[in-house]
Amino acid sequence: MIDLTTKSIRGKIVAGIMAAIFLLLVGKLAQLQIVSYDYYFQMSEENRIRLVPRTAMRGKIVDREGRTLATDRPAYTVSVIPSEIRQLSRLSEELAPLLSLERKTIEQKVKERRSRKYEPVPIRRDIEFASVCIIEESNELFPGVMYQLDHARTYPYGNIAAHIIGYTGEVDERESKTQFRIGSMIGRAGVEKQYDQPIRGIDGVDYQEVSATGRILGSLQSKPNKDPIPGSELGLSLDLDLQVLCDSLFGDSLSGAAIFINPQNGEILAMVSKPNYDANLFSGFVPRDAYQQLSTDERRPLLDRVIRGTYPPGSTSKLLTAGAALELGVIEPNTPFKPCYGGYQFGNRYFKCHKKSGHGSQDVYGALEVSCDTYFYQVGLKLGLKNFSDIAKKCGFDVLTGIDIPAERAGFVPTEEWYNKAYGKNGWTKAVLLNLGIGQGELLVTPLGLAQFYCGVVNNGNVMKPHLMRYIKSANGELTQATPEVARQLPFSASTLAILKEGCRRVVQGGSGTAARSRIEGIEMGGKTGTAQNPHGNEHALFCGFAPFDKPTIVGCVVVENAGHGSVAAAPIVQQVFIRYFQKTGLLAPPPPPPLEDIVQL
């Protein structure tokens, strides 16, 4: 017989347990519905609402005459919503052949974005319409997969101005955790990167209500969609006619760089680096083998030689040597030196002049005109290393120009401290001055840096900051225009600059000038040829020119790698671009129309 007292105790224990369970349930409900309400409501909304980004159209990039250099075109993008994927391995197997991707690429992209499992993860941009049709017709085979009409960047002129314009690319995982959404396209090089923020615009978003299986029920009525705001138009100072002509003058076989600038305001009119690449390669999916071929090409087509290539300036820097010596009073225009008989003996070494028979006695004007090495060997010695280095630095040979393109590289000016560190205090002699005096040895410049120096010489010593942007025009019409900016002042007086300019005039217009064959009938111009020794092959050919002589509006600097003499390989390129420029400005007659048979063929 069960004791009533025992039954009472058991009843109380059961009642206590039931009460505890009830309290736990009430507490959990309170925690779910009150304490964690916001969290679970958000999860519910994310499961019910699909955010479909609407990418803003990037702004056009146009040349100085409004011709389109970069724009957006319609393209389909396939994305995956991680939360709706049932089996990633199976899905990747089905998608891979349709998107021309490897399975591991698809799986890696999805796994990288697991932290944002309700947002679409772009898997492949700019896919074929046939693939879109298959996904649409067999959507039950692709749970979590969606496609939408998007944009892809296109460059109508392909490799023309590719280093200037640059290209775009998708943000990586690190960037998507900071300021960009998953799948955003941003500028990766050139002005696409430099002016990415105004060009990119502001993305919009569509809010869609979906079922538990991911079926779209319609637009979310409680939350209005946000329309994207198109990016701003970027107007460049570039002249497409000059750019195309300069590119064609290099052809496909030559390597080198060319830069043409208005010295009065710093506007860049043309800028060519050869070899180059087709920027359209980067506008969508980049095949691995194609990129591998570009990045491993020994000619280095991805390198922008104008702003990152460093070369010995050769005789083009004789203006620096002469200007420094004149300004410091080391020489006068008619200071006598030993005549040139084909070279100069210094110690136990004989330094040759480029003319074996020699140039005889020269003043500074004649030495520049005929580019006499023997004359400038002696000027360099008399000038001294400290004076040379100090003036070269004040001229900006070792600093960035400040051009509005990323990744610019500075030139290099050797100093006594540098030689001591590199070779030891007694490991070098004054012989280095003979090489520096003619632009050889350790002195290095970029084509842009050299052109900027010449801009200062012909612009009364005012060195303007080079720039490509002329204006930025927003979608609502707001206009921002570039303002010319003085980067520095050359350390030369007006009289020194006049001597340097006259020497350059004789190089082209004089009877013995090294660039006499590149003069232009009807336009007086000046310039300086250069031939720089190259330890890896034939000499580099250089030429820096300007015109019209009295008030130059264009400066050109050309470097042709492994091409020999500047008068033969570089100066003709400057000449042809100058002719086209002055035809366009009206100082020269326009070219005759093409023959009738050519017009008929067109």
Residue 31 confidence (pLDDT): 62
Tell me the residue length of the chain. 602
Task: Report which residue type is found at 221.
Answer: Q
Q: What's the N-to-C CA distance of the chain in angstroms?
A: 117
Instruction: Enumerate residue ranges in the chain where pLDDT < 70.
Output: 1-7, 27-50, 114-116, 173-179, 182, 208-223, 284-285, 287, 596-602
Q: pLDDT tens digits, residue range 257-294? A: 999 999 999 999 999 999 999 999 887 667 677 778 88
Residue 257 confidence (pLDDT): 98
Under DSSP, the state recorded for 442 is: T
Q: Read off the pTM.
A: 0.87
According to DSSP, the residues that pair with 530 across neighbouring strands are 542
Residue 216 confidence (pLDDT): 54
Counting Cα atoms < 13 Å in the Cβ hemisphere of 331 gives 27
Residue 140 confidence (pLDDT): 75
Residue 10 confidence (pLDDT): 72
Query: How many percent of the chain have pLDDT more than 70?
Result: 88
Q: Which residue is associated with the tokens 């042709």?
A: 560
508 Cβ contact partners less than 8 Å away, ≥ 6 residues apart:
515, 516, 518, 519, 525, 526, 527, 545
The token pair that represents 347 in the structure block: 């110690």
The token pair that represents 263 in the structure block: 């010295």
CB 90 within 8 A of CB 102: no
Query: Hey, what domains does the chain have and what are their CATH numbers?
Result: 49-236 (3.90.1310.10), 241-585 (3.40.710.10)
Residue 50 confidence (pLDDT): 65
According to DSSP, the residues that pair with 467 across neighbouring strands are 267
Task: Report which residue type is found at 463.
Answer: V
Task: Report which residue type is found at 544.
Answer: C
CB 147 within 8 A of CB 77: yes
